[in-house]
Amino acid sequence: ENYKESLRNLGKAGVKTICYNFMPVLDWARTDLEYPNGDGTSNLYFNKAEFAYFDIYILKRENAEKDYDAVTLSRVEDLRPVMTPDAEHRLVENIIVKTQGFVNGNISEDDEAPVATFRELLKLYEGIDRDALRANMKYFLEAIMPVCNEYDINMCVHPDDPPLQILGLPRIVTCDDDIKWFLDAVPDKHNGLTFCSGSLSAGAHNNVPELARKYADRTWFVHLRSTSVLPNGDFREAPHLGGRADIIELVRVFEKTNPELPMRVDHAPLMLGDEKMGYNAGYSFHGRMLALGQVGGVIATVDRDIKEGKI
């Protein structure tokens, strides 16, 4: 009821696009917030073995090792001799302090406080499996759709980031089947997708342009960024004109379908002193301006080609 009241207030204020997520406890996850690139910039990075090390040896989640393949577990054991207290502290900061709201962004020399808070939050989801979380999402969407229809508000769920099962928690917006499920479960046009090409491209199982073509008519918000996935399961934020998202093709799809879609660039590199400014991870000033210029140029070119009948 509180959420519905907030939606009414937003609708009255003219806010018609609501991006939300259904990721339990942990929002987007990275292990390194300043991974160096060859050109002197840095990017966000997800090291699967370091994340598993955090899960098994810092969080100490029961039976955590069962959630990882043999190659990742071998990499974890290779890490153990070199994981100093400072390295462990960095993982705690990067995974559950600097990027998550539940500890209010407060960085402490005492890692046990945020880790203990995190353990308590995980307990809230004991017994909640994929089917139960899907049922919760369906209940939530059905409950708010009458308000969305009254005020013409588009709800746009953000894909899980990374689009993988992590920390024993169900993740239910990770792939084609997941997107189809929640759109079909509540077929109201106001139940839609935030098409985050970065999140989706971080899953090697996702063909991002194909997903864009399939779900463009239920996409109400676009996040344009890209990632590169390594063979071992690690991934890094890629330049906005690189990686596996194929942003140029995505712009072609969305500009032809709905050129009025709101769009943002996201998770840009740190450059030209960004790293010294205390920005929230992924939201640097210079890096985002570079990305916005690149994407703006792509949009202008695609719009001209559409006007001239070339695409």
Residue 107 belongs to what domain range? 44-123
Same domain, 227 and 268: yes
Q: Is the dihedral of CA 160, 162, 167, 168 positive or negative?
A: positive
Which pLDDT does position 110 carry in this prediction?
Answer: 64
Same domain, 281 and 300: yes
- Banded pLDDT at 39 (limits 50, 70, 90): very high
Same domain, 69 and 164: no
Residue pLDDT, tens place only, 181-207: 999 999 999 999 999 999 999 999 999
SS (H, E, C) 2-25: HHHHHHHHHHHCCCCEEEEECCCC
Same domain, 140 and 118: no
Which pLDDT does position 100 carry in this prediction?
Answer: 81
Residue pLDDT, tens place only, 215-235: 999 999 999 999 999 999 999
Largest pairwise CA distance in the chain: 61
Same domain, 11 and 147: yes
Alpha carbon distance 40, 160 (integer Å): 29
Which pLDDT does position 111 carry in this prediction?
Answer: 73
Instruction: Please indicate, yes or no, if residue 33 is contained in any of the structural domains.
Output: no
- Banded pLDDT at 105 (limits 50, 70, 90): very low
Which pLDDT does position 112 carry in this prediction?
Answer: 82
Which pLDDT does position 98 carry in this prediction?
Answer: 87
> Which of 72, 99, 123 lies at the terminal end of a domain, its last residue?
123
Which pLDDT does position 155 carry in this prediction?
Answer: 98
Alpha carbon distance 247, 240 (integer Å): 7
Question: Angle CA(31)–CA(264)–CA(228) in degrees, nearest 5?
Answer: 40
Instruction: Please indicate, yes or no, if residue 283 is contained in any of the structural domains.
Output: yes
- Beta strand 42-46 pairing with 235-238: antiparallel
Same domain, 104 and 208: no
Q: What is the mean pLDDT of residues 80-91?
A: 96
Residue pLDDT, tens place only, 129-154: 999 999 999 999 999 999 999 999 99
Q: Over 60: is that where the pLDDT of 108 sits?
A: no
Instruction: Please indicate, yes or no, if residue 170 is contained in any of the structural domains.
Output: yes
- β-bridge mates for residue 154, sequence order: 17
Residue 28 is which amino acid? W
Same domain, 81 and 176: no
Same domain, 11 and 100: no
Same domain, 141 and 194: yes
Q: What is the mean pLDDT of residues 67-84?
A: 97
Count other Cβ atoms within 10 Å, centred on residue 51: 25
Q: What is the mean pLDDT of residues 89-109?
A: 75
> Which of 97, 123, 149 lies at the terminal end of a domain, its last residue?
123
Residue 224 is which amino acid? L
> Which of 103, 123, 143 lies at the terminal end of a domain, its last residue?
123
DSSP per-residue letters across 140-202: HHHHHHHHHHHHTPEEEEEPPSSSS-BTTB---SSSHHHHHHHHHHS--TTEEEEEEHHHHHT
Which residues are part of the catalytic machinery?
A: 158, 196, 223, 266-267, 283
Question: Angle CA(107)–CA(225)–CA(16) in degrees, nearest 5?
Answer: 85
Same domain, 269 and 149: yes
Is residue 72 within 8 Å of 45, Cβ to Cβ? no
Flag the least confident range among 20-24, 96-100, 262-266, 270-274: 96-100
Average pLDDT for the chain = 95
Same domain, 72 and 6: no
Instruction: Please indicate, yes or no, if residue 294 is contained in any of the structural domains.
Output: yes
Instruction: Please indicate, yes or no, if residue 49 is contained in any of the structural domains.
Output: yes
- Banded pLDDT at 127 (limits 50, 70, 90): very high
